[in-house]
Amino acid sequence: MTPRFDTVVIGGGIVGTTAAYYLAKAGKRVALVEKGRINGEQSSRNWGAIRTQGRDRSEIPMMLDCLDIWRGIETELGESVDWRQQGQMRVIYDDSMRARSEAFMPVAREFGLTTQLLTPREVAEMLPHYDARDCQGALFTPTDGNAEPEKAAPAFARGAVRFGATILEHTAARAIDLWNERVCGVETEHGRLACDTVVLASGAWTSRLLKPLGIRHPSLWVRGSVGRTGVLPIEMRKLVVWGKCAYRQRPDGRVNIAVAEDGFHDIMLESAVHGLEFLPLAGRNWRNLRFHLGTPLVRSLMGEFADYTTHRTLDPMPDWKGLRKAANHFLAEYPGAGPIKYERAWAGYIDYMPDELPVIQAMQRPDGLFVAAGLSGHGFGIGPIIGRSLSDLIVKGRSDYDLAPFSARRFNPH
């Protein structure tokens, strides 16, 4: 007999696991299907920044409430996710960075954020081992925080299971079944699951699952790389600092260093399909955009990414050149850190949208489909409130937030 659920969630990242958690907590019968393992892709590979700072104003009301979720999550889930409310810092090195930082201040004031502009001296006081020679100040939001990406989504998945959710790993969803323009099930590689509603939280794979339904979701994959050092003989506030490189000292003293400024796009079949829509974004960031023509193009031409079982977990090659450059930047800023050697390094494909905003929507056609994807490189921090909002849309039929800016209609006018 076909197993039946109220909701099937597709994707076990931060959005899918939190949606499953809040739905199961609200009493729904939930199954989460994940083609690889829970937290295999973006949600475990990011920097861990949980920030209101620098966000588009449309995301800020949700993000402010999301900070409340993060503050209480370790108590609620009964386990640590290394949550730290130590702030988010964007170091200013030049006039263009200063202009961008100053431009955020009216937004910060409008929403009552704690964001402030620091002097170089204040930066140095906060980061005692930091050599502030090139620093012209910083944008700083003390109430922002960070958490460990390797821990957060698995903790929500375990929480969902405690409320009765079924988690099916190594189970790729192949298609969303419809009957009379309504969702009625999900075809997986291991058979069919019947359900009334589907949450599509499939990150970088979303456009492929929506295409057969005639819904455009123009996201492109941008590769982000991170390296982890050994324990360094420096002490810094455990916050996320974003400058010439980005870094976060972990509770164990190791430092995650990331290639911060460069967007690295592996050219694939989709680059031609959606590329034109990205021209304005590329134009604004042309100095920091790098393209790579190689194996991913060949693989996409061979149709490898059309099958959800060929790449159980997307695990692209880290950008070693960029990581070496980032290590040199870090060493210039922390001369006392000694030689920087990475113990490990990884990369992740970010699902970028042309306007850098996600799609979060209860679709009308087909009815019963709820999409949350395209989080454009800043979805870890805001993920839990998106998961809770999806649950509200399904359970209460409404969300507490204005989701209009995140509508899929901006790419599907008809």
Ligand X SMILES: Cc1cc2nc3c(=O)[nH]c(=O)nc-3n(C[C@H](O)[C@H](O)[C@H](O)COP(=O)(O)OP(=O)(O)OC[C@H]3O[C@@H](n4cnc5c(N)ncnc54)[C@H](O)[C@@H]3O)c2cc1C
Residues that bind ligand X (CB under 6 A): 10-16, 33-36, 40-43, 45-49, 172-173, 201-205, 209, 224, 226, 308, 348, 350, 373, 375, 377-381, 383
CB of 210 to ligand X, least distance (A): 11
With CA atoms as reference, report the closest residue to 366 among 206, 198, 204.
198
Q: Which is nearer to ligand X, 28 or 223 (CB)?
A: 223
CB of 214 to ligand X, least distance (A): 18
Cα–Cα distance, 334 to 131 (Å, whole number): 6
236 and 129 Cβ atoms separated by less than 8 Å: yes
201 and 13 Cβ atoms separated by less than 8 Å: yes
Q: Which is nearer to ligand X, 77 or 124 (CB)?
A: 77
Q: Which is nearer to ligand X, 132 or 385 (CB)?
A: 385
Q: Which is nearer to ligand X, 12 or 142 (CB)?
A: 12
CB of 411 to ligand X, least distance (A): 17
CB of 111 to ligand X, least distance (A): 18
Site of tokens 């460990």? 148
7 and 23 Cβ atoms separated by less than 8 Å: yes
Q: Which is nearer to ligand X, 87 or 348 (CB)?
A: 348
CB of 204 to ligand X, least distance (A): 6
CB of 137 to ligand X, least distance (A): 22
How many C-alpha atoms does 174 have within 13 Å on its Cβ side? Answer: 10
Non-local CB neighbours of 271 within 8 Å, separated by 6+ positions: 220, 265
Distances (CA, A) of 286 to 149, 262, 278, 337, 383: 29, 10, 11, 32, 28
CB of 306 to ligand X, least distance (A): 11
CB of 375 to ligand X, least distance (A): 3
326 and 224 Cβ atoms separated by less than 8 Å: no
Q: CA angle at residue 230 from 71 to 91, to 5 degrees?
A: 55
- Residue 322 structure tokens: 């960029």
CB of 171 to ligand X, least distance (A): 7
Q: Which is nearer to ligand X, 69 or 172 (CB)?
A: 172
Q: Which is nearer to ligand X, 13 or 243 (CB)?
A: 13
Cα–Cα distance, 60 to 378 (Å, whole number): 12
Q: Which is nearer to ligand X, 108 or 132 (CB)?
A: 108
Coil, strand, or helix at residue 339? coil
CB of 121 to ligand X, least distance (A): 27
Q: Which is nearer to ligand X, 38 or 118 (CB)?
A: 38
Distance from the first to the final alpha carbon of the chain: 38
Non-local CB neighbours of 347 within 8 Å, separated by 6+ positions: 45, 223, 224, 225, 226, 315, 316, 317, 318, 319
Q: Which is nearer to ligand X, 131 or 261 (CB)?
A: 261
Site of tokens 């409430």? 65
H or E stretch at 206: helix 206-210
- Helical segments of 36-167, H only: 42-45, 60-77, 95-110, 120-126, 149-162
How many C-beta atoms lie closer than 10 Å to residue 303's C-beta? 10
